[in-house]
């Protein structure tokens, strides 16, 4: 996405030579490089040398807290918050660390879910727009308003529809007070979710809207909408599980309303010997636990 930089060490980082066969120790030349790499020890040492904890980098205008949220450097993020980093400081585009975490899908790094930017977007709007289902689930659990509108009158469900993020779209509908009303809701341009899906050629959204029947009291359907990764693991559907994870839709360690991860769902399906025979592929697929 324009404006969201790629992570990577700057030219100021140096490596220390070590004996053959051992890992080289990287000495980071800036506080931002240390945070991007998740090196709390060097972060602490750099701050002790007098560098500001809210130092803004010259290229991207990010603070260390912004980089921690961007890179998912949770330990660095906790250290920065503990030592007084400014959570309200925004980038040139009006993003706080919470907005960046929602954009990048770093749900564990989100802080204040109610903070808005210049477009009146909250983390929930960014999570919906970028298809970050794990972030949406956490934000809803924290009590964020999924019926809050931005400066154009768009609900999060409008943003998910225009970008074609079907899992997020279905999840938002499952959590709204009135799904039928949410489908009919207009933004300030007089467009509802169907109009937006048509304008941006999102066939998956169109097909779902045209063919969906909403059974608000069916708890099994609600779970399917809210936690597709858990359902895939429960069914032993490795291909679906891999797609959800690799597309950034879910996190392999996310928990449902009962505190279960997809691994727990998988383990409950069978006894241990049977599980290895039937669903072993799902159990072995753990890309970043």
How many C-beta atoms surround the C-beta of residue 8 within 10 A? 10
Q: Given this model, what pLDDT does residue 239 score? A: 80
CATH of 1-98 given 3.40.50.720, 3.10.50.30, 1.10.1660.10, 1.25.40.20: 1.25.40.20
19-23, 62-66, 143-147, 183-187 — which is least confidently predicted? 19-23
Domain boundaries, the chain: 1-98
* Whole-number Å distance between alpha carbons of 149 and 155: 5
- Residues 182-189, mean pLDDT to the nearest whole number: 95
The DSSP letter of residue 109 is G
- Residue 29, pLDDT score: 87
On whether the CB atoms of residues 65 and 97 are closer than 8 A, the answer is yes
| Predicted pLDDT at 84 | 92
Split at pLDDT 50, 70, 90, the class of 110 is confident
In terms of pLDDT, which residue wins out, 70 or 286?
Answer: 70
* Per-residue confidence (pLDDT) for residue 142, from 0 to 100: 79
pTM across the whole model: 0.56
pLDDT, one tens digit per residue, over 200-222 is: 999 999 999 988 644 444 444 55
pLDDT of residue 269: 47
Q: What is the pLDDT of residue 213?
A: 47
Residues in the chain: 289
Is pLDDT of 73 > 80? Answer: yes
Q: Give 21 or 250, the one with higher predicted confidence.
A: 250
- Burial pattern 28-53, b for ≥16 Cβ within 10 A else e, equals bebbbbbbbbbbbebbeebbeeebeb
Q: What is the pLDDT of residue 182?
A: 93
Average model confidence (pLDDT) for the chain? Answer: 79
Q: Can you tell me the distance from the alpha carbon of 35 to that of 77, in angstroms, rounded to the nearest whole number?
A: 8
Sorted by sequence, the CB contacts under 8 Å of residue 110 that are 6+ apart come out as: 69, 98, 101, 102, 123, 135, 138, 139
CB neighbour class for 122 (10 Å; exposed up to 12, middle 13-18, buried from 19): buried
Which tops the pLDDT comparison, 287 or 236? 236
Higher pLDDT, 142 or 77: 77
Assign 155 a pLDDT band (cuts: 50, 70, 90): very high
Residue 212's φ and ψ, nearest 5 degrees, are -85, 145
Residue scoring higher pLDDT (238 or 25): 238
Residue 19 has pLDDT above 70, yes or no: no
Which residue, chain included where needed, has tokens 């931002």? Answer: 32
- In tens, the pLDDT along 266-282 reads 544 443 333 333 344 44
Q: What is the mean pLDDT of residues 137-156?
A: 90
With beta carbons less than 8 A apart as the criterion, state whether 155 and 182 touch.
Answer: yes
């Amino acid at each position: 996405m324009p404006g969201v930089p790629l992570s990577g060490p700057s030219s100021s980082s140096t490596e220390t030579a070590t004996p053959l066969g051992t890992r080289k120790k990287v000495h980071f030349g800036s506080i931002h490089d240390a945070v991007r790499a998740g090196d709390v020890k060097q972060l602490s040492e750099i701050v002790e040398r007098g560098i500001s904890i809210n130092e803004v980098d010259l290229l991207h205008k990010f603070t260390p807290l912004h980089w921690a949220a961007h890179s998912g450097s949770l330990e660095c993020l906790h250290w920065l918050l503990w030592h007084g980093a400014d959570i309200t400081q925004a980038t040139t585009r009006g993003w706080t660390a919470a907005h960046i975490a929602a954009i990048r899908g770093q749900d564990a790094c989100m802080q204040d879910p109610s903070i808005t930017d210049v477009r009146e977007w909250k983390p929930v709007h960014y999570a919906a727009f970028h298809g970050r289902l794990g972030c949406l689930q956490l934000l809803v659990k924290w009590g964020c308003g999924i019926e809050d509108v931005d400066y154009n009158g768009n609900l999060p469900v409008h943003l998910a529809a225009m970008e074609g993020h079907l899992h997020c779209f279905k999840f938002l509908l499952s959590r709204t007070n009135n799904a039928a009303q949410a489908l009919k809701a207009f933004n300030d341009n007089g467009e509802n979710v169907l109009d937006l899906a048509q304008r941006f050629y999102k066939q998956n959204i169109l097909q779902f809207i045209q063919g969906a029947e909403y059974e608000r009291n069916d708890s099994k359907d609600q779970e399917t909408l809210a936690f597709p990764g858990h359902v895939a693991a429960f069914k032993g559907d490795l291909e679906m599980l891999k797609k959800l994870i690799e597309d950034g839709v879910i996190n392999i360690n996310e928990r449902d309303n009962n505190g279960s991860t997809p691994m727990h769902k998988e383990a409950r399906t069978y006894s241990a010997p049977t599980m290895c025979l039937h669903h072993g592929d799902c159990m072995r697929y753990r890309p970043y636990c």
